[in-house]
Amino acid sequence: MENKRDLTKELLADCFHELMLTTSFDRITIKMITDEARLIRPTFYKHFQDKYEVLEYIFRMEVTNSVDLLLSNGMEQDAIVIFCRCLDKDRKFYRRACQMEPGPNSFEQLLTRYIYETFLQLTERFSVRADPQYKFLSKEVLATYYTYGLVNMIRDWLLGDESVTAEELAASYKYLLSHSVLDMIQGGE
């Protein structure tokens, strides 16, 4: 019985995914999803609260599960590359998701929440070695700082030039992490 439930959930997610490739998120209705899946509306609500939850489910299945597995095995350096590759693999879908209206349930907020929680977990796993005179630099402040930079890079990448690869994006982010803005504007390495 559980297998049938999982298959139905995946069917609904697949139908939502297909609709996202041709229709803006705001125009997709639950009826459209269930019609595409040839199911009745109550079936949708047995699996998901709303279409935002379907988006989150797809993001978790396609992206975060792989990244979390790497992070749990101490492969932090590889996690950013895999994160970018997973988004790139379904770039048209995530591009459409980035075009959602801003709000508490938008893809950008989902991305922000996931990245923030991930950075926060990393700061808890490793000791933060900020100079004691900078008391303001708490784990939460550091997680927020790095989250917004990465979220903006990802959003701009998904909405921008498709010739930039996932590997180039990850390498650019790693470069930013290891260089100050002064290094970059002064041409220093």
pLDDT tens per residue, range 70-110: 999 988 889 999 999 999 999 999 999 999 988 888 999 99
pLDDT for the residue numbered 142: 86
Could you give the angle at the alpha carbon of 102 between the alpha carbons of 122 and 81, nearest 5°?
A: 35
The answer to whether residue 169 sits within a structural domain is: yes
Residues with Cβ < 8 Å from 130, sequence gap 6 or more? 137, 142
pLDDT for the residue numbered 41: 95
The answer to whether residue 41 sits within a structural domain is: no
Of residues 125 and 14, more confidently modeled:
14
The answer to whether residue 104 sits within a structural domain is: yes
Six-digit token pair at 14?
């697949």
The answer to whether residue 6 sits within a structural domain is: no
* CA dist., res. 147 & res. 154, Å (int): 11
The answer to whether residue 37 sits within a structural domain is: no
* Domain range for 180: 80-185
Number of residues in the chain: 189
> Considering its fold, how many domains does the chain have in total?
1
The answer to whether residue 178 sits within a structural domain is: yes
Six-digit token pair at 97?
């998701």
The answer to whether residue 36 sits within a structural domain is: no
* CA dist., res. 82 & res. 90, Å (int): 13
Six-digit token pair at 6?
């999982």
The answer to whether the pTM exceeds 0.85 is yes
